[in-house]
Structure 1
Amino acid sequence: MKPPAYNTAEVQQISQEQGERNVAMAVCVQLAGRAIIRVVSRCEEAQDNCNLDLSECQLMQVPDAVYHLMRHTELKRCDLSGNVITKIPPKFAVKFSLITELNLSHNQMCKLPEELAELQALEMLDISHNTYIALPSVTFRIPQLKQLLANNNSIIEVDVERLKLAPALEFVDLQENPLTPRVHDALSSVTLIKIEMTPREAEEWEDLTV
């Protein structure tokens, strides 16, 4: 029985493709390793300064290891910006209950857990540059929240009446959002909270100079 005959060119192509896959796999492993090292290193820094900076760490979620590493640290600030996070789990508010600043900007989030209302010390929340289509109602119930940055999303809807009842809110940035004319007008009438909005363009049937 003769062994199967292989074309030399086919053998070389198979060998080359296998080599490219091996290189790609090695690069992926190396990048993943660097990301893990970066996260662990920043957690160790946070144990000293109570400021957890996990920005630009290629995270799709907050790793469980982070909660473990931070279990004896009273965090004051947490920066998760510049990742590809789609959601924050409810336990985040339990584990990091003392934070005063939370930066979730430049991710891929469209909602927030209701448990964030339990963050009794949170004063500044940045959810800008995400994919929200409505301003999360939980933000109106965070007891000490003063600044809410929600610019550069896809927000069309805001519960203005609930927004007015927010216990401590002083400033809301809603610039670069496609707010409906109705919502834009309603927000313009709010006086106790400073609200930044991109000036809306008049519809063809409107004449705002009248």
Structure 2
Amino acid sequence: MVLLCVYSLNVDSRRSQLCLQRGLFEGVRERSLTMAFPASAGRGVTQVIDRCEAAKTSGFLDLSSCTLMYIADAIYLVLKGFEVTKVSLRNNCLKKFPKKMIGKFPNATIFNMEGNEIEEIPEEFEQWTSMRGINAANNKLTTFPQGIFNMKDLAILDLSGNQIEEVDVDRLYASCPSLVQLNLSGNPLKTETKTRLTSSPSKPAKILLKLD
């Protein structure tokens, strides 16, 4: 009888230790995700994590209007092993392009970064070869993103509201024959660039241009 009681106590003790270890592990993981964001973020942290969880099933990572100043590594941790094909970073406070996102979501087809303060898009942008739609409106871009020339399936491109003066028009039309919408309004485009955009022989037949 004594031996049975001792055995029962040992089993209960091991179970308690396992539960405690599991709880500690989950607690550490939760804190690691939360600590990746500013302490003052409050409900915004929960919002970001919830949207990451939703992206696991939808493939659409919607981080629009989350007051983000950068994309934390914790976001990639949550989505590790899941495919994301659409991303929206619209209306945040990003000043630098989230370069790591290109490698983490290599099959992205839709990318929206409208309404940030990004000044430059890196060369790695060209690795998104499956891209079909880009919205980079209302940022601070001063040059046309060169990586776009490697996106042969691109159909929609919105670069309105930036500070772009020149575009290699012939190269753009030759590289992106699937373009059906191109919005460059709100940029200080040179007159010759505008003329070339509207009259180039390589201009896609069905393209809808917006320059003013």
Q: Name the TM tier (shorter chain).
A: 0.7 to 0.9
Unaligned 5+ residue runs, structure 1? Answer: 1-28, 199-210
Q: 4+ runs of 1 displaced by more than 4 Å?
A: none
Distance in 1, matches of 2:143 and 2:100, equals 23
* Aligned counterparts, 1:16-35, within 5 A: 31-35=40-44
1:148 counterpart residue number: 157
Amino acid at match of 1:107: N
Instruction: Give me the CA root mean square deviation.
Output: 1.7
- Which secondary structure does the structure 1 equivalent of 2:143 belong to? coil
The Cα shift of 1:167 comes to 3.6
Distance apart, 1:113 and its partner CA: 1.6
Deviation of 1:51 after TM superposition, in Å, equals 0.9
Task: Give secondary structure in 1 for the equivalent of 2:118.
Answer: coil
Cα pair 1:50 1:74 within 8 Å, conserved: yes
The percent identity for this pair of structures is: 30
Match of 1:176 among 186, 189, 195: 186
Structure (1/2) with the larger helix percentage: 2
Gaps (5+ residues) in structure 2?
1-37
The equivalent residue for 1:12 is none
Q: Secondary structure at the match of 1:165?
A: helix
How far the C-alpha of 1:169 sits from its partner, in A, is 4.0
TM-score, structure 1 as length reference: 0.75
Greater CA drift, 122-131 or 139-148: 139-148
Q: Deviations over 1:114-160 (max 9, x none)?
A: 11211132100100011112221211212321111111112212122
2:81 partner letter: H
Q: Aligned to 1:139, which of 148, 154, 178? A: 148
1:106 aligns with 2:115: yes
2:51 is aligned with 1:37: no
Distance (whole Å) between structure 2 residues aligned to residue 188 and residue 154 of structure 1:
20
For 1:172, give the aligned amino acid: L
Q: Does 1:161 align with 2:170?
A: yes
| Correspondence 1:127 to 2:133 | no
